[in-house]
Amino acid sequence: MNESWKSIGYADEPVPVGINLKEEIRRMCKEKNAIILAHYYTAGEIQDVADFVGDSLALAQQAAKTTADIIVMCGVHFMAETNKILCPDKKVLLPDLNAGCSLADTCKAEDLAQYKKEHPEYKVVAYVNTSAAVKALTDIVVTSSNARQVVESFPKDEKILFAPDKNLGGYLNAITGRSMELWNGGCHVHERFSINKIVELKAQYPNAKVLAHPECKAAVVALADYVGSTAAILKFAQKDNSDTYIVVTESGILHEMQKSMPEKRFIPVPPEIAAGAVCSCNECDYMRMNTMEKLYNCLKFEWPYVELDEEMREDALRPIERMLELSERLKL
């Protein structure tokens, strides 16, 4: 990660007093031919100012087809890297370069390179939540929206390492009947949901359906009525005829859920926390580093931006393109 921007401090530059941040951000987007992509886990006001809001797959698909000169990725670092891998000639901005990902951090490129050396017969399927250096070492990338189809595209007896999310990998093994080797990684947000609280909420709202992300632990997934990516969870609730849902993923998704289905009730699940603490949401600290002020400053100064070594970018592009081609063929 490029640390040099911190000393310059553009991201923390005070914004002019009295300006309408949303209007100014939109004005700069028009002036600079910039597009704002935001993940469902960002704060509601970021989602509301963005040109496009989506899950990891949809964000990559948008980046691949945009004609904008500048992409502002309101998400985390690996998402901005994915955009840069797909769009080397565009400037890719990330409002705060410190917006990392605890899951991506569990898989270092040198460790994966060592694994490959020791297990040359294994194909490597990598979740998109990985660094560009890790993607460059993989055979194909997946997101939670297409992971099942990608895994099923391999012959049944193929030896596969799935990295880095052991929960998603375990879930995929269960639904596909495969026995992929699993990297020992996990997302600190999805792994900390309180099982007791889910059970309690189910008792309190007996008609509610439990919707869970596959990054959650198996014991949580076992309690779910539906398991899917953020976009899939949203779509499920839009088509389903229940009126109450217990939502077991980062609570930012509730913004779009509530906006598109005001007549329904969406209940977030808190993390397992010390007794006495009051918190009903489970937020990703990295995603929440995207603020309106930082977004304004990064558009104004066109900084900080993501840069990649060209050779690594080309190596990382192939497994992403394979994923996008398969997704397009399967209309995902």
Residue of 224, 257, 287, 312 that binds ligand SF4 (CB under 6 A): 287
- CA 206 to mean position of chain CA atoms: 30
Closest CA to 297 of 90, 16, 59, 92: 16
Decide: is 28 part of the binding site for ligand SF4 (CB under 6 A).
Answer: no
Measured over the CA atoms of residue 321, residue 128, residue 314 and residue 86, the dihedral's sign is positive
* Residue reference for tokens 């270092």: 108
Binding at 286: pick from ligand 13P, ligand SF4, none (beta carbon under 5-8 Å per type): ligand SF4
**SS3 sequence of 303-320:** CCECCCCHHHHHHHHHHH
Decide: is 291 part of the binding site for ligand 13P (CB under 6 A).
Answer: no
Decide: is 143 part of the binding site for ligand 13P (CB under 6 A).
Answer: yes
Please give the residues from 86 up to 115 whose contact with ligand SF4 meets the rule CB under 6 A: 101-103
For 196, what's the count of Cα atoms within 13 Å in the CB-facing half-sphere?
4
Please give the residues from 159 up to 188 whose contact with ligand 13P meets the rule CB under 6 A: 187
Decide: is 42 part of the binding site for ligand 13P (CB under 6 A).
Answer: no
Minimum separation from the CB atom of position 251 to ligand SF4 (A) = 11
Q: Report the residue number, 28 or 85, with the smaller CB distance to ligand 13P.
A: 85
Please give the residues from 129 up to 168 whose contact with ligand SF4 meets the rule CB under 6 A: 129
Q: Report the residue number, 28 or 172, with the smaller CB distance to ligand 13P.
A: 172
CB-count exposure of residue 277 (10 Å: 0-12, 13-18, 19+): exposed
For residue 309, the cross-strand partners are none
Please give the residues from 211 up to 250 whose contact with ligand 13P meets the rule CB under 6 A: 215, 229-230
Q: x-or-dash pattern for ligand SF4, window 244-283, by CB under 6 A?
A: ------x---------------------------------
Residue of 76, 216, 227, 289 that binds ligand SF4 (CB under 6 A): 76
Residue of 47, 83, 130, 145 that binds ligand 13P (CB under 6 A): 145
- Extract the tokens encoding 127: 């979740």
Ordered DSSP codes for 91-142 = EEE-S-TT---TTGGG--HHHHHHHHHH-TT-EEEEESSS-HHHHTT-SEEE
Query: Which listed range, 2-10, 225-233, 240-248, 284-292, lies at the site for ligand SF4 (CB under 6 A)?
Result: 284-292
Closest CA to 298 of 88, 96, 69: 96
Decide: is 56 part of the binding site for ligand 13P (CB under 6 A).
Answer: yes
Q: Rounded CA gap, 116 and 137, in Å?
A: 9
CA distances from 75 to 19, 222, 293 (A): 24, 28, 15
Decide: is 59 part of the binding site for ligand SF4 (CB under 6 A).
Answer: no
Q: Report the residue number, 76 or 172, with the smaller CB distance to ligand SF4.
A: 76
User: Helix 56-65 crosses helix 310-329 at what angle (to 10 degrees)?
Assistant: 110
Binding site for ligand 13P (CB under 6 A): 55-56, 129, 143-145, 187, 215, 229-230
Query: Site residues (CB under 6 A) for ligand SF4?
Result: 41, 76, 101-103, 129, 187-190, 250, 284, 286-287
